[in-house]
Structures are given as structure tokens and as C-alpha cells.
Amino acid sequence: MDYTITEKILLSHTDKKSIRPGEFIWAKIDFSLGNDITAPIAIEQFEKYGAKKVFDNKRIALIPDHFTPAKDIKSANQVKRLKDFACRYRIKHYYEVGRMGIEHALLPELGLVKPGDLVIGADSHTCTYGALGAFSTGVGSTDLAAAWITGHCWLRVPESIKFIYKGKLPKWVSGKDLILYTILDIGVDGALYKAMEFGGSAIRQLSMDDRFAMCNMAIEAGGKSGIIEPDKTTFEYVKKRRDYKAKFRNLKSDKNARYSETREYDVSRLEPQVACPHLPSNVKPVSKLKNVKIDQVFIGSCTNGRISDLRIAARILKGKKVNSRVRAIIIPATQKIYLDAIKEGLLQIFVKAGGVVSTPTCGPCLGGHAGILAEGEVALATTNRNFVGRMGSPKSFVYLSNPAVAAASAIAGKIIHPGEIV
Amino acid sequence: MIIRGKVHKFGNDINTDDIIAAKYLNTTDAKELGKHCMETIDSDFIQKVSKGNIIVGGKNFGCGSSREHAPIAIKGCGISLVIAKSFARIFFRNSVNIGLPILELKDEGKINEGDELEVDLTKGKVRNLIQNKIYESQAFAEFMQELIQSGGLMKWIRRKHNTK
């Protein structure tokens, strides 16, 4: 029987001899994560159940990244619950502010996820690790509690959709643009319950950072997971971070694997894409947006807060000034990225340009803190969602783009193509 | 199990930020979360809801974040059942896991705001008492029924795996 990469990984985490889409499995997990918003409910469920121990204290991450450094007393209490739980059950991967980073940037950076793994996280953007060739999906807090107790999770084996991207990516076009373009094509529920498998020559050219950005937004098309077959780029990334011995002989989809659908895109003439309010599928090429004035630019998040994102933003902002009506907020996703950005002089460029740099946090992406929008304000963000009220007032507006468009637009005070500035 | 209640109608792609905005996620208290249910898109919602009412949404209900606070807020404000054309997958599993009744119904478009429904969850039969119509919902997979009948995931693992 020929399998997709997703089916292969899922099968290897069960006692079964074969597997098919639609089937429910009780799958063994390699790693799990929760954050300061989702883990408190998991802790309540765990305690209510009367559990006395976790299945494996090395396979659990607790990352206080959403409302941290704690924005108010209630948030501080939630973070404290994570910390107390981590101490009580000797959770190895608990990271205090100062070592903490945005979970989906931090876990790969620490080498905690490897190709072929099965990862669940109580956060919808857990699908990010598909970039490493892992099956990785967002679940709820109760799922997380059950996983802490049993080391397992119930899953319905998804059908897969194959997305093939051909051609050479034009300048200023990134993984973010590929995924926004894909969401435009299939809609916010176009991949509902399904695995999105990204392949083709354009994907092979992408850096790991771009691959993370793509898989990160699979959920925005309703996808259960996003996945990219691991290649030289992937293995180089992983081996730099951990000892790695391949568990799978051939971690690729088989030749006759079955897909519910295959879609092909020629990306050689693609423009940077922008998702307009109030859905990630409301996507337009940047040149179609005329005179959209902005009040805030945010470069950061689990989608685009990685070092290559900061590098491209700095390249554009170097020696320039952020428009006097605009706030430019830049948030490196992890402490390591923060430190690298200091070493490379990127933060100096941002501050000189009139931008503001914050410690790692999800912060403004979900309207938590550190950059909330007022009524009537417009933001351009490198984040993943632009729902009504996502970054603050229900009467504010969020556009989504790649970091190059965001940086150029910060200078112009309106949404523009980076080519117009550089 | 029979649920009877008045309908509050919503459109397509109702996301978890609509259901409960992130600014309220610094608590896990169901009553507190319930006070802000649907606030972003309908600031009067909480005044209109009474215990036992039913939410009817379109496609992709509950899309967006994994926050379990969303079904908890819906339960917390007294809603007894959510009917939708389709559900986003994490919202779907969260609802089943915590025991919020949900139903997939392709005829959801025929139901109007303010209609009175009588729903037989076991049979998946929806009776519209105002329009005097009956709709058949899609049956849940066997495994889902097992989870629902156990009263949610934690009760299911206790019964099934007896792990402590």
C-alpha cells in the first residue's frame, strides 16, 4: 500500500498494520506543548482527573509566551500556574521569561522536534513543525491533559491535499506569500480536516524560516496540518541542533499515495500578497492596494518573527525613517533571534529608524498587549490572522503581509511594494 | 437526549476571536468567559441569551485558535447546543472533549433567528416548532459517539485506560 508522508508518520505511531483516511486512531505522541493561555485549563483537567504523574516529563513543553512578561495580575496568575505545575512534575522544557520565546519558533530552534515526529500542541499554530517533516497539529487543552496522562491523543487520519509550487520565486516574494496565495485559492475552510502537503521546485528553494511561515498558516485554510518532505535543508537544520538518527528509511510520500486533490501553482510571476480585513483568505497582490494608510506595523509572531524576517526588514529600513504617523513594532520571536539581531546590528537599524523593539512575546498578534489598536486604526502585520478585533478594537483593521512589505510600508505610511522603496 | 431552545443565528466562518476575544483569556472561569461570549460581533448577545438557547451557525464554525475557552464561554452563557453546517476541527474536538453538544446540519440555512427547535441528539433529528419542519443531521462517526456518550475525553480515558 502506498502512503502519503502524513499517513506514514501516523501509522508508525500506532500498533496498527495499516491505516486509511477517515479512521480514528489512538496515537502515541513524541512531544506536546501548552502555553500560558491553554495550559491552565489542561492543568485543571489533569488535577480534576486526580492524575499523580505525567507520562514523560521530557516530552512536555510549557511555554509562557502569550501574555508575557505578564501584562496584568490575572495573566501573572496563569503563568504562575504553569511554573508551579512545571516544578511539581519536574517538566524539563519550561522556559521562564528571559529564556522563553514564541513556542513555534522556540521548539524547532531548541531541536525539540525532528522529522517523522508526532507532535500535538494546545495552540492552533502547532502545525508549524510540519516544515521539519513532522506530523504536527493543534488540539485543545483537554486533549493536552489527556496526553500528559496517557502519552496519547485521538486523531482522525486526514486525507491529504497536494500543493505543488513551480518556478523561481521573484524578489521580495517569500513563503508567507505562497501560503497567503494558497489560502486565497482554497478559502479559509478549503483544507478543513485535511493535511496540506507542500512540494515542488519552489519549496525546495525555500529556507527553513520560509517553510515554517508556510506550514504555520495551514490552519488558516482549516488544515489539520501542513507538511513538507524533509530534504537536505531540513536535515542540516536539525543536525545543527540535536543528535539525529533517521527513524524512517524513506520519509517521503509514496509514488502512488492517494490525495483528495492536487493543485499546482506557477510562482515565477507572483507578487507579494496582502490579506485584507477581516479574513486571511481576503488576499490581493500588493500592487492592487492603492493608498491604504496605516497607523501601525508589526513585524514578529510565530509566523514571521525569525532572524531572516528581521534581516529583510532591516535591509529595507537601514538609513530610512519610519513614517511620522506610524508605530513600527518589531518583536524577535526568541531570545536567540534577539541576540543574533543585536550581534548583526539589526536592532540598531530598527531603533534608529524610529521603530520599537520588544522582548519575545506573542503580544499584539492576538491583541494581548504591546501594541493594541484603537478604534478606526489600521495595522499591517506579519502575523497570521486578521479577524475582527484580532489586534484590539473591534472597529480596527488588520492587513497581513510578509516582513519586506511591512518594513517598506512603515516608511511610506501606506501599504506599498518593497520595490518602490529599495 | 432532547434539547429544546430558541435560536440565535450566526453566519459563516465564525471564529474563536468572535466567540471569545483574546483579552478575556487571562481567566479560565466559565461564568466569567460566558459574560463576554460573541461580544466582538454582537455586543448585545449576552442580554438576549437565556439558559437552554441554541446557536445556529453556517460553515466552518469556530475557526481560528485552539482556545478551549470558546466552547467553555458558549456553555458558560447558557447555550445548550451549537448547530452548524460544518465545524472547524479544533473547535469540533474541543466541544466533544468537554461535552458541549454540537450537531452538523446541512439544512441550517432554513432555520431563522428566533425559531424554536426541539432536537433529539441521539437520533440527530431537529424539529423546527415554528416552521413545523423536521431536518436530519449527519450522524457522528462511531468513535465520536463513544466519546460523547462517555461524557467527554477525560471520562473516556478513565473508562478506557484506567490510568492514573
Q: Give the pLDDT confidence of A3-40 residue by residue, as tens digits.
A: 999 999 999 999 999 999 999 999 999 999 999 999 99
- Domain extent, residue B12, equals 2-139
Q: Return the residue in B59, B66, B68, B153 with the most chain A beta carbons within 10 A, the one to mutate for interface testing.
A: B66
Mean of the per-residue pLDDT values of chain A: 97
Contacts of B64 in chain A (CB under 8 A): 124, 385, 387
Contacts of A44 in chain B (CB under 8 A): 28
The Cα–Cα gap between B92 and B60 comes to 10
Domain range summary for chain A, segments of one domain joined by +: 5-266, 273-420
Asked if the C-beta of B29 comes within 8 angstroms of chain A's C-beta atoms, the answer is no
CA B130 to chain centre: 21
- The C-alpha of A203 sits at a distance from chain B's nearest C-alpha, in angstroms, of 25
More confident residue, A237 or B141: A237
DSSP letters spanning chain B: -EEEEEEEE--S--BHHHHS-GGGTT---HHHHHTTTTTTT-TTHHHH--TT-EEEE-TTBTBS---THHHHHHHHTT--EEEES-B-HHHHHHHHHHT--EEE-TTGGG--TT-EEEEETTTTEEEETTTTEEEEPPPPPHHHHHHHHHTSHHHHHHHHH---
**pLDDT tens-place string over residues A190-200:** 999 999 999 99
> Can you say whether the dihedral through the CA atoms of A210, A216, A217, A218 is positive or negative?
positive
Scanning A38-72, the segments in alpha helix (DSSP H) are 39-49
B91, part of any domain:
yes
- Main-chain dihedrals φ then ψ at residue A212, nearest 5 degrees: -60, -45
Residue A233's pLDDT is what? Answer: 98
Which residues are CB-neighbours of B155 under 8 A, at least 6 positions away? Answer: none
Amino acid at residue number A34: G
pLDDT, average across residues A310-315: 98
What is the bridge-based pairing of β-strands B133-136 and B125-128? antiparallel
Contacts of A397 in chain B (CB under 8 A): none
Grid cell for residue A260: 483528495
| Contact call for B59 and A189, based on CB within 8 A | yes
Rg (CA), chain B: 15
**pLDDT tens-place string over residues A127-159:** 999 999 999 999 999 999 999 999 999 999 999
Q: Return the residue in A14, A73, A189 with the most chain B beta carbons within 10 A, the one to mutate for interface testing.
A: A189
User: With contact defined as beta carbons under 8 Å apart, do A408 and A320 qualify?
Assistant: no
Asked if the C-beta of A2 comes within 8 angstroms of chain B's C-beta atoms, the answer is no
The Cα–Cα gap between A137 and A129 comes to 9
Nearest to A150 among B25, B93, B157 (CB): B157
Nearest to A142 among B13, B89, B97 (CB): B97
pLDDT tier for residue A100 given thresholds of 50, 70 and 90: very high
The Cα–Cα gap between A305 and A103 comes to 12
Grid cell for residue A107: 521548539
Residue found by looking up cell 471569545 in the block: B20
Nearest to B90 among A24, A52, A139 (CB): A139
Scanning A187-290, the segments in alpha helix (DSSP H) are 201-204, 208-216, 232-239
SS3 A137: strand
User: With contact defined as beta carbons under 8 Å apart, do B62 and B10 qualify?
Assistant: no
| Contact call for A192 and B26, based on CB within 8 A | no
DSSP character at residue A293: B
User: With contact defined as beta carbons under 8 Å apart, do A422 and A316 qualify?
Assistant: yes
pLDDT, average across residues A156-168: 98
User: With contact defined as beta carbons under 8 Å apart, do A146 and A34 qualify?
Assistant: no
| Contact call for B152 and A142, based on CB within 8 A | yes
Indicate the fold that domain A273-420 takes in CATH: Aconitase; domain 3 (3.30.499)
Residue B161's pLDDT is what? Answer: 74
User: With contact defined as beta carbons under 8 Å apart, do A67 and A78 qualify?
Assistant: yes
**pLDDT tens digits for chain B (164 residues)?**
899 999 999 999 999 999 999 999 999 999 999 999 999 999 999 999 999 999 999 999 999 999 999 999 999 999 999 999 999 999 999 999 999 999 999 999 999 999 999 999 888 999 999 999 999 998 888 899 899 889 999 999 999 876 44
Work out the burial of residue A72: count CB atoms within 10 Å of its CB; fewer than 13 is exposed, 13-18 middle, 19 or more buried: exposed
pLDDT, average across residues A211-230: 98
SS3 A270: coil
Provide the 10 A C-beta neighbour count for residue A36.
28
pLDDT tier for residue A248 given thresholds of 50, 70 and 90: confident
DSSP character at residue A256: T
SS3 A38: coil
- Main-chain dihedrals φ then ψ at residue A138, nearest 5 degrees: -80, 140
Which residues are CB-neighbours of A324 under 8 A, at least 6 positions away? Answer: A413
Amino acid at residue number A370: A
Q: How open is the CA angle A174-A175-A179, to the nearest 5 degrees?
A: 120
The CATH architecture assigned to A5-266 reads: 2-Layer Sandwich (3.30)
| Contact call for A387 and B15, based on CB within 8 A | yes
Grid cell for residue A195: 493535511
Residue found by looking up cell 496540518 in the block: A225
- Chain B residue with CA closest to A142: the answer is B97
b (16+ CB within 10 A) / e for B116-153:
ebebebeebebbbeeeeeebebeebeebbeebbebebb
Residue B164's pLDDT is what? Answer: 45
Residue A104's pLDDT is what? Answer: 98
| Contact call for B153 and A49, based on CB within 8 A | no
Residue found by looking up cell 496584568 in the block: A72
Number of domains in chain B: 1
> Can you say whether the dihedral through the CA atoms of A377, A379, A385, A386 is positive or negative?
positive
The Cα–Cα gap between A416 and A409 comes to 5
Candidates A98, A130, A134, A128; CA nearest to A114 is A134
Rg (CA), chain A: 21
SS3 A37: coil
- Are A5-266 and A273-420 the same fold in CATH? yes
B150, part of any domain:
no
Candidates B21, B61, B52; CA nearest to A368 is B21
Residue A185 has pLDDT above 90, yes or no: yes
Residue A272 has pLDDT above 50, yes or no: yes
| Residue A354 CA: distances (Å) to CA of A195, A286, B17 | 42, 24, 31
B132, part of any domain:
yes
Amino acid at residue number A225: S
- Main-chain dihedrals φ then ψ at residue A17, nearest 5 degrees: -90, -30
pLDDT, average across residues A222-241: 97
The Cα–Cα gap between A120 and A143 comes to 9
Predicted TM-score (pTM) of this structure: 0.97
Beta strands (DSSP E) in A341-403 are 356-357, 378-381, 397-400
Residue A49 has pLDDT above 50, yes or no: yes
B163, part of any domain:
no
- Main-chain dihedrals φ then ψ at residue A286, nearest 5 degrees: -60, -30
Grid cell for residue A255: 509514488
Q: What CATH number corresponds to the domain at position B39?
A: 3.20.19.10
